[in-house]
């Protein structure tokens, strides 16, 4: 006979499942939620038995917003969820990440906890997610005089990791393609050396992971060090300059860096400045950065800007006349991000005003002064179209009363970006996105803010859509 704690757990979980069932397809409910079983509930922590860490990981990737919302609606925002997983005759407790992803208004955490990077990796057979953007490859990277050395060396590093160019330190201004290149290195390395554990992350995320590992809730600094020192074969860290002034994090990174180098592991780093200009960074780290190769990525020249504009147009499936390509490349002399912004503004005008992309339109949209894009007013319609194009949903679906996951997420991101980028009030935004109330817009914005911190795919989607609008 089940004890009262088990009965309470089952009843509480049944209430959560009732909420989940309303928001997802029946087939998904049967496949992903029926195998879960409540085993304990103490009033603040609900423990759910799950088959494997991999099952939990996929469950949260697919249905984390719905799961989080269901628990909070059924049990309140103070209740936390964790998973109990049996393996090898033992048992592992995994804290759920739903509190880190989405919260209801009033229970929103401005600094959500970061998922431990090493959860599941310490179990036999689990593989670390490299955290790479599938679009950032060498095939899609435009090579030119400004990045030829960095690109050539990057390919050699992928072919023969931990060789002559270790560490590889790449520096350059914002928007010149550093992140694309280092993720392409990681992707090519995985292709050529499938057994290697490649991990990409920003220095900011590394800091948050370290802080979380030191927190009383996790208290697993040893696991953090073991993951980065023992399990990782190639560490790719973006924006290393963010560690300036973060002495404790810089110290722990020094330990990890030294250990990886001494054990023949590859390290790839980026910065907005070359090592000698990183004022405030520990000298012992700077000297080690210079032991490998330091390569600069500069601003793109005209030929490369032509390639970038054509590449963006091709990736978006848009045919742009050659004279327009040349005009944009000539008059926007900044980095790839600015080129994308100018091109996006051009396409947005053509779409909203239902005109073809012509040289006359390009001349109207792009300013000749200093090669910078002219200020383009971002409207609600432009934002909604950009979001719908990204998620490949019809703009009309934004008005529908549907619980389809992709539509709900797209609408919440549209609300978030409309609030951030337009002058519309919350009431106007809600009224034009399915006749929602302003409180719904407030909730959507907070939900997306939480997801940006903890869900890689959502953060990437918001970043790409916002970049396309600027």
334: domain CATH number? Answer: 1.10.8.60
**Same domain flag for 463 and 395:** yes
Residue closest to 54 by CA, chosen among 134, 133, 131, 129? 129
The length of the chain, given as a count of residues: 470
Angle 89-90-96 from CA coordinates, rounded to 5°: 135
Distances (CA, A) of 191 to 66, 130, 184, 195, 282: 34, 12, 11, 10, 35
For residues 274 and 177, membership in a common domain is answered with yes
DSSP code of residue 272: S
What is the model's pLDDT at position 305?
86
- In this structure, what CATH number is given to the domain that contains residue 398? 1.10.1750.10
Number of CB atoms found within 10 A of residue 290's CB: 13
Q: What is the 3-state secondary structure (H, E, C) of 28-84?
A: HHHHHCCCCEEEEECCCEEEEEECCHHHHHHHHHHHHHHHHHHHHHHHCCCCEEEEE
The pLDDT value given to residue 235 = 94
What are the residue ranges in the chain where pLDDT is below 50? 1, 87-92, 98-126, 368-376
Give how far Cα 171 sits from Cα of 259, 268, 293, 296, 387, Å. Answer: 23, 11, 11, 5, 32
Its sign, for the CA torsion 444, 449, 455, 456, is positive
Q: Is residue 119 part of a domain?
A: no
128 assigned to some structural domain = no
Question: What pLDDT was estimated at residue 52?
Answer: 66
Contact (Cβ atoms closer than 8 angstroms) between residue 95 and residue 120:
no
Domain boundary at 354, 371, 388, which? 371
Q: Of 46, 81, 101, which residue constitutes the final position of a domain?
A: 101
Say how far apart CA 219 and CA 343 lie, in whole Å. 48
Between the CA atoms of 351, 463, 440 and 424, what dihedral angle is there, to the nearest 10 degrees? -50
| Domain assignment of residue 107, yes or no | no
Render pLDDT for 237-265 as a digit per residue (tens, 0 to 9).
999 998 988 889 999 999 999 999 999 99
- CA distance linking residue 138 with residue 425, whole number of Å: 43
| 115 is a domain residue | no
- Return the pLDDT at 111: 33
Residues 28, 78, single domain; the answer is yes
Q: Are residues 58 and 170 in the same domain?
A: no
Instruction: State whether 290 and 157 are in the same domain.
Output: yes
Q: Are residues 292 and 328 in the same domain?
A: no
User: Cα(413)–Cα(407) distance, rounded to whole angstroms?
Assistant: 10
Task: Supply the pLDDT for residue 183.
Answer: 94
Which domain covers residue 191, as residue numbers? 148-296
Residue 212 lies in a domain: yes
Per the structure, how many domains does the chain have? 4
Identify whether 274 is part of a domain: yes
Q: Please state, in angstroms and rounded to a whole number, the distance separating the CA atoms of residues 291 and 281.
A: 16
Whether 190 and 277 share a structural domain:
yes
Residue 167 belongs to a domain: yes
Q: How many whole angstroms separate alpha carbon 72 and alpha carbon 141?
A: 43
Predicted local distance difference test score (pLDDT) of residue 376? 47
Same domain, 332 and 416: no
Residues 65 and 168 in one domain: no
Looking at residue 85, what is its pLDDT?
A: 65
Domain harbouring 214, CATH code: 3.40.50.300
Distance CA 340, CA 332 (A): 10
71 and 168 inside one domain? no
pLDDT value at position 288? 86
> Is pTM beyond 0.85 here?
no
Q: Of 251, 275, 296, which residue constitutes the final position of a domain?
A: 296
> Do 437 and 316 belong together in one domain?
no
- Domain of 59: which CATH number? 3.30.300.180
- C-alpha span between 125 and 460 (Å, rounded): 28
Does any domain span residue 436? yes
- What integer pLDDT is reported at residue 128 of this predicted model? 64
Same domain for 274 and 173, yes or no, is yes
């Amino acid at each position: 006979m089940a004890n009262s704690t088990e009965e309470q757990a089952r009843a509480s979980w049944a209430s959560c499942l009732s909420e989940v069932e309303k928001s997802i397809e029946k087939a998904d409910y049967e496949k992903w939620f029926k195998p879960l079983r409540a085993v304990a509930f103490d009033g603040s922590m609900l423990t759910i038995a799950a088959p494997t860490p991999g099952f939990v990981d996929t469950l949260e990737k697919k249905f984390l917003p719905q799961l989080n919302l269901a628990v909070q609606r059924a049990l309140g925002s103070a209740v936390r969820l964790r998973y109990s997983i049996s393996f090898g005759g033992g048992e592992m407790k995994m804290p759920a990440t739903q509190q880190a992803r989405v919260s209801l208004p009033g229970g929103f955490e401005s600094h959500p906890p970061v998922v431990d990077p090493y959860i599941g990796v310490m179990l036999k057979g689990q593989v670390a997610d490299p955290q790479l953007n599938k679009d950032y490859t060498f095939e899609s990277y435009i090579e030119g005089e400004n990045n030829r050395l960095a690109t050539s060396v990057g390919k050699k590093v992928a072919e023969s990791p931990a060789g002559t160019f270790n560490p590889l330190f790449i520096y350059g201004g914002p928007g010149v393609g550093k992140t694309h290149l280092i993720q392409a290195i990681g992707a090519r390395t995985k292709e050529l050396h499938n057994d290697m554990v490649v991990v990409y992350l920003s220095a900011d995320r590394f800091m948050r992971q370290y802080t979380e590992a030191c927190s009383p809730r996790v208290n697993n600094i040893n696991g953090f060090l073991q993951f980065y020192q023992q399990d990782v074969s190639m560490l790719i860290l973006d924006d290393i300059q963010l560690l300036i002034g973060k002495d404790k994090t810089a110290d722990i990174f020094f330990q990890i860096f030294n250990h990886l180098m001494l054990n023949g592991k590859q390290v790839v780093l980026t910065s907005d400045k070359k090592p000698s200009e990183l004022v405030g960074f520990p000298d012992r780290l700077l000297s080690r950065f210079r032991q490998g190769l330091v390569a600069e990525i500069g601003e793109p020249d005209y030929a490369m800007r032509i390639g970038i504009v054509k590449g963006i147009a091709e990736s978006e499936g848009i045919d742009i006349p050659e004279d327009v390509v040349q005009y944009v490349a000539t008059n926007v002399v900044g980095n790839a991000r600015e080129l994308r912004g100018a091109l996006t503004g051009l396409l947005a005008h053509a779409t909203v005003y239902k005109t073809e992309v012509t040289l006359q339109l390009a001349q109207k949209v792009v300013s000749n002064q200093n090669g910078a894009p002219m200020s383009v007013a971002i409207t609600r319609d432009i934002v909604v179209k950009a979001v719908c194009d990204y998620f490949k949903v019809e703009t009309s679906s934004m008005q529908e009363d549907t619980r389809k996951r992709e539509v709900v997420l797209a609408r919440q991101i549209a609300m978030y970006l409309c609030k951030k980028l337009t002058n519309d009030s919350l009431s106007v935004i809600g009224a034009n996105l399915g006749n929602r109330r302003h409180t719904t817009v407030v909730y959507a914005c907070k939900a997306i803010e939480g997801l940006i911190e903890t869900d890689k795919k959502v953060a990437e989607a918001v970043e790409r859509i916002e970049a396309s609008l600027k």
